[in-house]
Every structure is written in structure tokens, then in C-alpha cells.
């Protein structure tokens, strides 16, 4: 008698759906992430009423603010910033919301700059700041906004390139950097003389990582 043929059923993996609540573990995408990415400001406002973790991170350490910035969703950014989202947090490779927004547009960047982010935060792999990303994208209005906000034009990437190096073939943007270099720095007010203060206690600084190259703002999306 011929042996029976064994049948093998293909096993299918079922992806776990995101939790209905924003009380999700680190590494999970929350409803607030989804609303931020699509720019659904109404949904964001409604979700914020339930007091979710506004800085919850997904599997790439991105918060809802990172996704709103990456997608260029200004209304979502405004809602999240107004609700207290941390503009200083870095995702994978220390990419901040400002890094993501730098390639999108001046409105997104202006919204974040108003909240006082670390303008010169550098991506760990590439060493790029938001100014480098804006320069690589030839985005004049964003470059100007970042320079006006005090971005350090002398900082270099891990490849040794300054933001100005990245626009060397664009005469208009080169002129923008030259104008910024020529502009006199505002004189700082001279404070009144005050009695010498006792030496302050010093604390050991906390060290953070840095970054490398390519379209890092599009990575992990």
C-alpha cells in the first residue's frame, strides 16, 4: 500500500493590530501616531482629551511629533506642540522633529522653532543638523529660518561638509550664506555690575550620541 502523502498547511503570520488605547508599550504605534502622520488635527485633539502619552515611541523610537514633521503636517504639529510634545527628543539616530521638518517646508520648521528645539542637534550616523538637511534639499526659506534661529553654519557632517558646502552649486543659496556671514551680530546688552557670586556646584554633563549620510529623514518610515 502506498504511503499517505503528508500535507503541509502554510502557516500565516498575523500581525498584531495596534492597541485601541494609547497606553501602549514602547515600540508600538499608537492612535496618536496614526493621526499625526495623516495630519488629522481633529482626531489629535480628541485623543489628547484622554491624556495619552504624547511622547510615546514606536518601533523606531519616533513620537507622534516626529511623524507629523516627517509628513509635513503643520496643523498636527501645532496641536502636538501646543499640548506639550517634547521637541528635543530624538528618534533612531537622534533624528529630531526639526530634522524631519527641514526637508518639508518653512511652516513646519517655524512651528517647531517657536517651541525652542535644539537647532544644532546632529544625526548620529551622518552628523547632519537640520541646516545640513535643508541645504541638501536646496530649501532656501528653511535655511533662512534656521540661520535666523541661530543654527551654527560652521558645523560639519561626518563627511566633513558644512551646510554651505552642500549648496556650493546654487548661486542664490551661496549668496544667502554669504549675507548671513556678513550680517553683524547683535550687540549683547552690558549687565550692571553685580557682586561676585560663590562658585556654583558643577555636575557631570550627560553625553548624547551623534549621526552619518543619505536620506536619513526618510529612513525607518
What CATH number does residue 141 fall under? 1.25.40.20
Tally Cβ neighbours within 10 Å of residue 140.
16
Query: Within 8-164, where are the H helices?
Result: 31-38, 41-48, 64-70, 74-82, 97-101, 106-113, 130-136, 140-148
What is the domain count for the chain?
Answer: 1
| Whether 146 contacts 134, CB under 8 Å | yes
In a domain, 78, yes or no: yes
Q: Is 124 helix (H, G, I), strand (E, B) or coil?
A: strand
What is the extent of the structural domain holding 85? 31-183
Q: What is the pTM of this model?
A: 0.73
Cα–Cα distance for residue pair 9/2, rounded to 1 Å: 22
In a domain, 206, yes or no: no
In a domain, 129, yes or no: yes
In a domain, 76, yes or no: yes
Rg of the chain in Å (alpha carbons) = 23
In a domain, 58, yes or no: yes
In a domain, 11, yes or no: no
In a domain, 200, yes or no: no
pLDDT tens sequence for the chain (221 residues): 555 555 444 443 333 333 334 444 568 899 999 999 999 999 999 999 999 999 999 999 999 999 999 999 999 999 999 999 999 999 999 999 999 999 999 999 999 999 999 999 999 999 999 999 999 999 999 999 999 999 999 999 999 999 999 999 999 999 999 999 887 554 444 445 444 444 333 332 222 233 333 454 454 44
Cα–Cα distance for residue pair 99/216, rounded to 1 Å: 9
In a domain, 79, yes or no: yes
Cα–Cα distance for residue pair 50/96, rounded to 1 Å: 25
Amino acid at each position: 500500500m502506498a504511503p499517505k502523502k503528508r500535507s503541509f498547511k502554510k502557516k500565516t503570520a498575523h500581525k498584531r493590530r495596534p492597541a485601541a488605547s494609547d497606553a501602549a508599550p514602547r515600540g508600538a504605534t499608537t492612535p496618536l501616531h496614526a493621526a499625526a502622520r495623516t495630519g488629522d488635527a481633529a482626531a489629535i485633539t480628541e485623543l489628547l482629551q484622554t491624556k495619552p502619552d504624547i511622547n510615546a515611541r514606536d518601533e523606531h523610537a519616533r513620537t507622534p511629533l516626529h511623524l507629523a514633521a516627517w509628513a509635513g503636517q503643520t496643523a498636527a504639529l501645532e496641536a502636538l506642540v501646543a499640548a506639550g510634545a517634547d521637541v528635543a527628543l530624538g528618534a533612531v539616530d537622534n533624528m529630531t522633529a526639526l530634522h524631519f521638518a527641514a526637508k518639508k517646508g518653512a511652516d513646519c520648521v517655524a512651528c517647531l522653532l517657536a517651541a525652542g528645539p535644539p537647532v544644532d542637534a546632529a544625526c548620529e550616523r551622518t552628523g547632519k543638523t537640520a541646516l545640513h538637511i535643508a541645504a541638501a534639499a536646496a530649501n532656501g526659506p528653511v535655511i533662512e529660518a534656521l540661520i535666523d534661529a541661530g543654527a551654527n553654519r560652521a558645523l560639519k557632517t561626518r563627511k566633513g561638509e558644512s551646510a554651505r558646502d552642500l549648496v556650493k552649486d546654487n548661486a542664490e543659496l551661496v549668496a544667502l550664506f554669504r549675507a548671513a556671514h556678513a550680517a553683524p551680530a547683535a550687540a549683547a546688552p552690558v549687565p550692571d555690575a553685580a557682586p561676585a557670586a560663590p562658585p556654583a556646584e558643577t555636575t557631570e554633563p550627560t553625553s548624547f550620541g551623534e549621526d552619518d549620510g543619505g536620506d536619513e529623514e526618510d529612513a525607518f518610515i
